Structure 1
Amino acid sequence: MTPMRTLAGLAIAAAAMTLAACGGGSGAAEGDMALGAPEGAKVTVVEYASPTCAHCAAWQNNTWPAFKAKYVDTNKVRYVFRELPTPPAEIAAAGFLMARCAGPDKYFDVIHELLANQAEWQSGAISPRASLVKTAGGFGISESQFQECVTDEKAVAALEKRVQAAVAAGVTGTPTFVVNGKTVAYTGGEGPPMPTLEAAIDPELAK
């Protein structure tokens, strides 16, 4: 679906993650997609995630609605989503590229749909590409447009740059959450539950 150069670049970046130091950053980065409060907000919450990450899908299903209602819809925090493809990297990369092609107003809807549809291709009920094309169609992107989107060299290069930035920030897995520059520690693989996020966010809001 994407040029071999792209897949090789993503694989190198993924391998480099194992050598990176722990940590992460919440300062503004090129290509950031955000919801909630504007840039410069008192509290910024960054999530590094991937549409092929099962734990990311579980966090979206179980925690995102409450997090969104309490912090994003009320503009209490600036929520930033950063792209970090996980295996199979070519599927994750295609999903990110498609979300970008859908436009800023549909980006998060596409990402959430990809996460929600993850189980269908993981179960073998449908091929990953067919699942991506189906999702694209739901947002008005034809199959030919999808193909153009995921092979656009400039878009691919920009994605590679974002992946490299995540690696440089020391992010070692998904989902990773960073609140005002501090990585949120949590147990289990799904991602931090609401009480853990509240413990990290609410004291920052109270400052």
Structure 2
Amino acid sequence: MITRRTFNAALAFAGATAIVGTLPWKLVSSALAQEPAAIAKPSTLGDMSLGAKDAPVTIIEYASMTCPHCAAFTKDVFPQIKSTYIDTGKVRFIFREFPLDQVALAASALARCVAKDDSNKYFAIIDILFNQQAGLQNQAFETINRVGKQAGLTEAMIKACVQDDLTVQKGILADREYANQTLKIDSTPSFFINGTLVKGETSFDGFKKIIDPLIKS
């Protein structure tokens, strides 16, 4: 069983990482231009995506499992984007981890260990973790243990994921550093919508105003 000691030992791996903040409830388009190839570069562990690969619009979200605005987006906005655009072949949606703290890193690692290469399972797990965000903040190792077991992992598998084998965590942190240093991501949630950087959480209507012209163009 994972104890506080073993969980904290796993989290200590990220202790030297810088912690960046979250943006308030607003949409801010960045004037920074990024090379399309730099944005499209797949994550170290492989991108988790939903939707048609040839969709006219690609949305890339950078999020942290402990970010309340990210959780609100997942709960209140993403389902509408999925039903309106992803399920209809108009949008390809990619989720990339940008952990703001050690707990978010451990939760992201768990999602990767549970899903492996199954994007549908991955999105289901991050949805559960966002819904359990209060538990992550107050009882992190208990929450991760519980979610992992509910997803079919044994205690030994959970322990290996968040403590013994740091391959997944290293991949997530490498991608976080790339996003911060190369793509200038410094807050969550941040989105690239066909290459345009959009920071902060917004309403479905706000996304619709950006997406619809791109579909028609």
Give TM-score scaled by structure 1 length.
0.83
> Equivalent of 1:65, from 57, 73, 79?
79
User: Residues 60-99 of structure 1: matches in 2 within 5 Å?
Assistant: 60-86=74-100, 89-99=101-111
Whole-angstrom distance in 2 between the partners of 1:99 and 1:185: 24
2:19 aligned with 1:8: no
Q: Which residue of structure 2 aligns with residue 205 of structure 1?
A: 215
Residue 99 of structure 1 and its aligned partner are, at CA, apart by 0.9
2:117 aligned with 1:104: yes
Whole-angstrom distance in 2 between the partners of 1:49 and 1:79: 13
> Equivalent of 2:140, from 128, 132, 142?
128
Kept in 2: contact 1:26–1:179 (CA 8 A) = no
Residue 158 of structure 1 and its aligned partner are, at CA, apart by 1.1
Whole-angstrom distance in 2 between the partners of 1:131 and 1:3: 14
Give TM-score scaled by structure 2 length.
0.80
Whole-angstrom distance in 2 between the partners of 1:96 and 1:166: 16
Deviations 1:103-157 (A, max 9, x none): 23221111110000112344x4xx1110111111111012221110123122222
Whole-angstrom distance in 2 between the partners of 1:27 and 1:63: 23
Q: Which residue of structure 1 aligns with residue 198 of structure 2?
A: 184
Kept in 1: contact 2:11–2:103 (CA 8 A) = no
2:204 counterpart letter in structure 1: M
Q: Any stretches of 5+ residues in structure 1 without a counterpart?
A: none
Whole-angstrom distance in 2 between the partners of 1:185 and 1:99: 24
> Equivalent of 2:160, from 138, 142, 148?
148
Q: Which residue of structure 1 aligns with residue 150 of structure 2?
A: 138
Structure 1 residues 137 and 22 mapped into 2: Cα distance closer, same or farther (>3 Å)?
A: farther
Whole-angstrom distance in 2 between the partners of 1:76 and 1:61: 21
2:175 aligned with 1:162: yes
Whole-angstrom distance in 2 between the partners of 1:80 and 1:66: 16
Structure 1 residues 185 and 56 mapped into 2: Cα distance closer, same or farther (>3 Å)?
A: closer
Q: Percent identity?
A: 32
Structure 1 residues 97 and 3 mapped into 2: Cα distance closer, same or farther (>3 Å)?
A: same
Q: CA RMSD for the aligned pairs?
A: 2.3
Kept in 1: contact 2:11–2:102 (CA 8 A) = no
Whole-angstrom distance in 2 between the partners of 1:158 and 1:22: 29
1:133 counterpart letter in structure 2: N
Structure 1 residues 121 and 161 mapped into 2: Cα distance closer, same or farther (>3 Å)?
A: closer
Q: Any stretches of 5+ residues in structure 2 without a counterpart?
A: 1-6, 23-29
Deviations 1:11-67 (A, max 9, x none): 24x46x9xxx975664242322111111x5321101111111111111111111111
Number of residue pairs aligned between Structure 1 and Structure 2: 191
Residue 161 of structure 1 and its aligned partner are, at CA, apart by 1.1
